[in-house]
Each structure stands twice: as structure tokens, then as C-alpha cells.
Chain A
Amino acid sequence: MNTSLRPAPPADAHREQRQKDVVAALREVLPREAILFRHEDTVPYECDALTAYRASPMVVVLPETEAQVAAVLKICHQMTVPIVARGAGTGLSGGAMPHRSGVILSLSKFNKILNIDPASCTAIVQCGVRNLAISEAASGYGLYYAPDPSSQIACTIGGNVAENSGGVHCLKYGLTLHNVLRVRGFMVTVSPWNSAPEALDAAGLDLLPIIIGSEGMLAVTTEVTVKLIPKPQSARCIMASFDDIESAGAAVASVIAHGIIPAGLEMMDRAMTAAVDAFVHADYDLSAAAILLCESDGTPAEVAEEIARMEQVLSAAGASRIEVSRDEAQRLKFWSGRKNAFPASGSISPDYMCMDSTIPRKRLAEMLRAIQQMEIKYNLRCANVFHAGDGNLHPLILFDAADADQMRRCELFGADILETSVRLGGTVTGEHGVGIEKLNSMCVQFSAAERAQFLALKQAFDPLELLNPGKVIPTLHRCAEYGKMHVHRGMLPFPELPRF
């Protein structure tokens, strides 16, 4: 999507005065170059990777030390200025989209790996350290950090904590939550805070699962202790082709039914393999209706044993072709296609909207059929890539954001996928977060009482609602309005109201 400079939004006298006051206060605690507020300087912060939704922040700050973060929070708290923390801005749900009257707390300078301890298999890193940089730094000790979101070359561990990020290997190795021992940071009231000691559990309520995945709504994270695990000695990947998506979906269930937990189990439909193969030449079987990538890792003997069992199960499930990676180069090639699914989609369409719902595995084929019907209904194409082992779907709806009607149809298409997922017993977001993108869908998944409980929980951490306001949990009012909109799908009342 076009990120070039656009004209500054119309000035508003009140906002201008407020901006002056906040900048003046921040200058007391931060060097001048760590404060951005001119429109041309703040443009890069207007959105995260959900580029269709933008807002101009009032101020952007780039602190370098925890003391500076504390000082910024103190000022924001005193002046009741909303705070939106930001890592690398690779989030896909608008979680880091600025608040027009708020401060973007960019933590990109917190990029130091503080300690790698091979004895305890842990790493202590600042929140702005890139996901892949942790594994690179640990590599010399034969260790790595397991969660590997596709954006791992760019996304930060702080962002991973905010979203409880997964990746292609989380079926076997777990999500961010399962691989983080401790987070440290600040409450919005500036109290330094940490989740636990570096033991496996803490006294009292376990706050770590509440903080992880809270999308910057509860606290500001500055430091993370992660678990490192030994690199598997070897890994091999099977590419299995299927002539129809039903058998591919059934094969996924069959692998699990046979007691196998693959290191990765991914599915792509033909639209996706075609796009990807043109983009990175991953040697995919382009004649297949769907392919599965099924990986085994461990000792060479373990992998040989498991690959043989997987081949047997996949054949019995009706695979029309099975190819086992013959060497590391080919294995990486298989994965390069999967990991480039998003950019590949960007290369065949001006824009794409990535959905992220999760459904029970057994409903995969049913869901794909429903998506095919939606392509006709909304007259837009959709390429599908799934973390099939987890039932986590990433349908990529292809559209052109410059065309308002396509944009509108794309939003309806996306909402339809999410609501279908909830109906099939799933959830609206598996790993990308709610952000602003899925606020309306939260009205469908949760009752008014459940949403009220979420809002009450936030109060325990952030009574003034300064952290990332307006994200994740929709207000009762918004859901009421969405309920009304729903009746007249396609003909939204009050089109002038912002709805993200």
C-alpha cells in the first residue's frame, strides 16, 4: 500500500496547543532528537503492517533507557495522554496504530541482547530485539528461540509478547507464552513491574498469561527473559499433494490421530502455491488442489522413524504425491515458500487483507468450501495458507484499497470469515491479535457480560485507560451499533463515522 507523504491532516487548534504542551513536558526528560512531532517525521508511525488503517500520532518518542520510559509514562499519566507502545510495526491487526491525541512509545532503541546463558538455557533481551536475532545470538551454543512468526527477521520480542505470537513450529514448541519465562517493564502508573522471578512459576496469581497477548493494553514491557532450547540435530520436511481439499484436511486430522505431533504442519491451496512459486520458486506441486508441509525434527534416527510414519499416514489419507526433502537446502526451499506467502500475495495484488481465525482442525475443509463461496459472493479472490496443525487460518483476501468498493467488500469478506470461524467453534484471532481490525468481530465472539469482564480486568492495570485506548475490547456502544449494522449488511448507516 502507498506510504508516500500525504498532506497533513487539518490542524485543530486544541490539538496543536495540546501537542505543544506535551512536547514541552517531554523535552524535560528526553533529548530533542528523541521526540518527533512534525507531520513529516511522524508519518512512518501512522500505521503498522495493517496499512489500510492509519492515524497521525500527536507525538512519537524514542527513549533509550528504562529511566526515560518511566519519565515518559509519568508525564503521560500526569497529563492523561494516551500511550501506544510500538516495536517494529510488523503487527497485522493495527495494534500499534496511533491515537490521534496520543504518544507513540517507540521501543526500537531497546535492541540489546543483555545476556545469553547457555547453562540455564535462557536469554535476557530488551524488548526491541528482533525475534530472529535471539536465535542467531544463541546459535553458537547450539540453542535457539522456538517461536518463529513469519515476520521473524523484523518483528521484535516485545511485539511477540504483546501478541502472543506463534509461527509455523508452535504445534510442537508452543506459543510465545510457552517460551517466555518473565517480562519486566512498567505499569502505566510508572511502578516498575515484573511478572515473576526467573523460576518456572510465581507466587500468587499467574499474571504472565494476562500480560502476554494483551496487545499493549495493560503494561509496558521493556525486557523479556526467554527460554532457549537445543537445536534439533536434524529436520526433514514432507511435501504432500492432494487432489481435493477435503482429503488434505482429513490428512491433517489423521496425522494427529496417529499420535504424531509434527514440528510443523502447514497447508496451502492452489491459489497460494501458484502465487508463492512465482515469487520464490519453492518447487511446489502446482497441480495439487492443496499441499501439506509436514516436518519432523530431532535426532537423525528419530526423524527417520517419524518421517516413515508420516509418509504412511499421508499415503493412507490419499496423498497423490509425497516428496521428502532430500537435504537441508530443499527443506529450506519448501519453507521459503511458506514463509513468503504474504509478500507473494502482495506481488499478485495491489493489497491483501490477512485473516487469522482458528477453527477446530476437523472443520478445515468445510471452512475452505465456505471461503470459496465467499469469493463468489464478494467478487474478490482469496489465497489460503493455514497453520493446519493448529487449525489457524490465514486466508489472504486480494483487493485494491484504492477502490472504495473493493475495500468495503474486503471488510465484509473478512468479517464473514471471522464469524464463520466462531460458528464452527473457533476464534476470531489465533496469533495476530484483535487490534482495531477485529473489534467488531469481538462483539460476535463475546457476550456483553464477557466484554464487560475484559474491561474490568483492564481497570486493574490501567484505571485511566491510557494504554492503547480503543483497541482489543469493543465498547458496549460499539457492539450495539455493529449489531444494527449487521442487519443491513452492505448498507452501513452513518458512513461518515470511523469504524475501525
Chain B
Amino acid sequence: MSAQDPVLARLVDQVNSARSRRAPLDIRGGGSKTFYGEAAVGEPLDVTGLSGITSYEPTELVVTVRTGTRLDDLEAALEAHGQCLAFEPPRFAPGGTVGGMVAAGLSGPARASAGSVRDHVLGVTLLNGRGEILTFGGQVAKNVAGYDVSRLMAGSLGILGVICEVSLKVLPVSPSTATLRFDCDEAQASANFRDWASQPLPINATAWHEGGLYVRLAGARAAVAAACTRLGGAQLAPEQAKSWWSSVRDHSAEFFAIGAAGLARGESLWRLSVPATAAALKLPGQQFMEWGGAQRWWKTLADAGQVRSAAARVGGHATLIRGADKSNGVFAPLSEVSMRIHRGLKQAFDPLRLFNRGRLYAGL
């Protein structure tokens, strides 16, 4: 990516202007995830002009894309070649961008088997807080030249700089998929997740909610067919399965919404990331489990302290996704050592604290 690029040059100018005034900048893509994280402050820095696929060669299993590109455009381009983003990034609303996907670092139902956004980032071009355009990583899957800065960007919420271009590992769409449904309670679902995890089954995604366990198989035809026979359950029709998993991935399923009445009651949606085999969490409200038990969504009236300690007790952490009250922080508090490293990294990339100030943690 060249500094001569007119859109990039404008962004550099805007960053340099903000530097001279020490004015915070709010990096903006498609706005599909503005609800996520702490409140945004500062002058808007619109990156949607940085759009387009820079290079895509299906045989290299890599796509390089400017980060203002709409995620749905990227996915359509991959689909035309029978490939996909295996980590199924959520698309909470139309218009979400590739940059937002990387910065938010959220992955969908296939995460436990296919890996996360981070795992698929191969390289980035970054505009840092000194107004410099830097490239890290590359377009190859194996690369250990220098620190892995590109993967650090996944989930950074833009606090280290503007992600201008990213190279992502892409994978072929599985030749065959099937979704099975089982009626069972949470304990049985957890036991099944555990049993299946240690067997060579082509499990691509799992979920459990209100007595229904869903498992998606993906892989070679023979493997999927054999697993269907072995596991039993009721097989969903392909279209029904597709829309069911999309509703989980994109949070369009009813469970993930909090209506006006819920907000008025003080209901919040939390994401608890815990060891997959952690015991059942005792919280009031409703649960939606994914990733073989490693991701547990809770829609609850419990306060932040209660949710956080439930997660911490089993060795996990909790993030507030939706809800009116962010006063206790969106992300789990960091240890002192970890916070020191975070401050050091912020200092290293964005010493004037221009980008997305406070969006991840206060003080960053």
C-alpha cells in the first residue's frame, strides 16, 4: 500500500493534523459495531474510502483487502471462488467493514474448530500515531520475521492505529455440511461436547439453547455422512440450517436482542469466555452456549460484579455486549502487570493517545 494513495494520504493528513492539536480520533468504518466497547470520543476518522480488494489469488489461500471494504463484498468475492472466511465473523448489521471485523476481533460459531480472526490474519498495513504507514506480516501463512504485530491488531479496537489493509488466510468451503439437532438439557449438552471433542469427528460448530443442542458437521462427504450416522439426532434441512447458524453468527436470533422492555428492566447481554469444560454457571436469566461450552452468552439482570465473578471463578472473563449500563466497564479489568504492558504498547504505537481513546480501557 503506497503513501501516494490519495485516500490514504488524506488519512495521514488528518492524523498529522490531530497530532499537532493532540485531538483524539474516532476511527469509523461501517458503524455496525458502534455499540461494542466503551464510548467513542474524538473527531471521526472515516476509513470507508479505503475500499477494494488489493489482491486475491485463490490458489494462495490469501486475500489482501483494504479495510474500508464491506465485509459482505469480501465474502461474496470469496464465495465466487468456493472459498470463505472460516472463522465466520459476525455481521451485526449491513455495511460492516473488514477493518471493523479485525479491530473487534469477534469470531462466529466455527471459532472453536476453525480458529479466530486473529488466527487468520497474515499481515497488516497500519497507520500509527506518529502518522507513519507501516507494514507487518505479509501474504504468506508462515512468517516469523519480527514480532507478530499484525495479529496484535485483532481485537485491539483500533487503539494502536488505523488498520489500512489486511491480508487474511482464506479456506475452501467444505464440500459437505450437515446440522443435527438433539433435545437435551445443559448438563447433557456439556457431556456431549466433551465426548465429541476427543473423537475424530468433523465438528465445525456447536450450540445449545433452551433444550436444543445443535451440531454442524463440515468436511469430506464420507466423513460428514459417517458422523451423521454415528451421532444420530434430527438433521435440519440445508436452508433451515444455514439460516439458523446465520442467526447465531449475526445475533439476529431473538435471544441476542434486548428490547426496550428488557433495557428498562436493566437486562444486559454478556459474553462469557470460559474454559470449554467449565461447570454450569449459576446466573439468573437465559443462556446461549457455543464453541463446545467455551463461549456462553447470558441475557441477565445480574450486575457486572456478579457476572464477572461467575466467569472468573471458572477461569474466564466476561464482556458486556448489550445493555444500558456500562458504568462498570465493558471489558473485564486487567491485572496490574497486564495493564502495564497495555500502556506500554499504547505508548509504543500511539504515544499521543489519538486513536479510539478509552474505547478498550480508560487510560489507553
Contacts and interface: CB of A to CB of B under 8 A. Distances in A.
Contact of A205 (B156, B201, B319): B156
B345 A457 contact: yes
A209 B315 contact: no
A440 interface: no
Given A178-B119, A199-B275, A460-B341, A473 B58 contact: no
Interface string B298-319: 0000000000000000011101
Provide the main secondary structure of the chain A interface: loop
Contacts of A217: 147
A395 interface: no
Contact of B337 (A191, A260, A301, A391): A191
A416 B184 CA distance: 62
Contacts of A121: 197-198
A360 B198 contact: no
B142 A199 contact: no
Interface in A92-141: 117-121, 141
A209 B121 CA distance: 11
Interface string B347-364: 111000000000011000
B332 interface: yes
B291 A200 contact: yes
Interface string A295-309: 000110110111000
B57 interface: yes
Interface residues of A, number: 95
B142 A210 contact: no
A201 B141 contact: no
B147 A457 contact: yes
Nearest to A170: B142
Interface residues of B, number: 87
A374 to B, nearest CB: 21
Contacts of A301: 220, 222-223, 225-226
B217 to A, nearest CB: 12
Interface in B237-287: 273-277
A390 B341 contact: no
B211 to A, nearest CB: 23
Nearest to A441: B145
Nearest to A456: B348
Interface stretch (A16-24, A31-39, A230-238, A341-349): A230-238
Contacts of B345: 205, 457, 460
A210 B59 contact: no
A434 to B, nearest CB: 6
Contact of B152 (A205, A298, A447, A456): A205
Interface of B: 57-62, 82, 105, 111-112, 115-116, 118-119, 128, 130, 132, 134-136, 138-149, 151-152, 154-156, 159-160, 171-173, 175, 194, 197-202, 219-223, 225-226, 273-277, 291, 294-295, 315-317, 319, 331-334, 336-338, 340-345, 347-349, 360-361
24 contacts: A120-B277, A191-B337, A199-B273, A199-B294, A203-B317, A203-B332, A204-B360, A205-B159, A207-B152, A209-B118, A218-B147, A256-B59, A299-B200, A358-B143, A362-B59, A390-B140, A427-B143, A430-B142, A431-B144, A442-B145, A453-B348, A454-B147, A457-B348, A461-B344
